[in-house]
């Protein structure tokens, strides 16, 4: 069964901490995406990548960065966590021109 695995289901971090959210896919997909999901706002795209070492800003990249050193892994980095980054974070992957497979999500709380 194909999978997108996010390393943590729940995470609690302090304001100002550097936070790493990891996502690994086993489907050899070229494309990987990071979204955040907030009530009433739907899914908002943070960053995406179409290839190793390639990254593109999505709609809300401020306060985030990403890393894609290997095809199967796409990491989201919160450089200095703030309370307004408390959210559900969803990783997804896809082959070209096809729908996404999502991970289970990481619910991050910044206190």
**Given 41, 52, 54, 111, the residue binding another protein (CB under 8 A):** 41
**Given 31, 75, 85, 87, the residue binding another protein (CB under 8 A):** 31
Instruction: Assign 32 to helix, strand or coil.
Output: strand
Phi/psi at 83 (5° precision): -60, -30
Task: Rule CB under 8 A: say whether 50 interacts with another protein.
Answer: yes
| CB-CB contact of 93 with 85 (8 Å) | no
Q: Footprint of another protein on residues 89-108 (CB under 8 A)?
A: 90, 92, 94, 96-105, 107
- Which residue stretch of 12-20, 40-48, 60-68, 69-77 sits at the interface with another protein (rule: CB under 8 A)? 40-48
| CB-CB contact of 45 with 35 (8 Å) | yes
| CB-CB contact of 12 with 85 (8 Å) | no
Binding site for another protein (CB under 8 A): 4, 31, 33, 40-43, 45, 48, 50, 58, 90, 92, 94, 96-105, 107
């Amino acid at each position: 069964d194909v999978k997108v695995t996010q390393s943590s289901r729940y995470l609690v971090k302090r304001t100002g901490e550097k936070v790493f959210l990891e996502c690994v896919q086993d489907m050899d997909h070229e494309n990987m995406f990071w979204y955040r999901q907030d009530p009433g706002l739907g899914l908002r795209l943070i960053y995406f990548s179409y290839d190793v070492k390639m990254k593109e800003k999505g709609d809300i990249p401020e306060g985030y960065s990403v890393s894609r050193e290997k095809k199967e892994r796409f990491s989201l980095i919160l450089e200095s966590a703030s309370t307004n980054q408390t959210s559900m974070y969803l990783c997804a992957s896809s082959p070209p021109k096809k729908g996404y497979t999502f991970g289970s999500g990481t619910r991050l709380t910044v206190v």
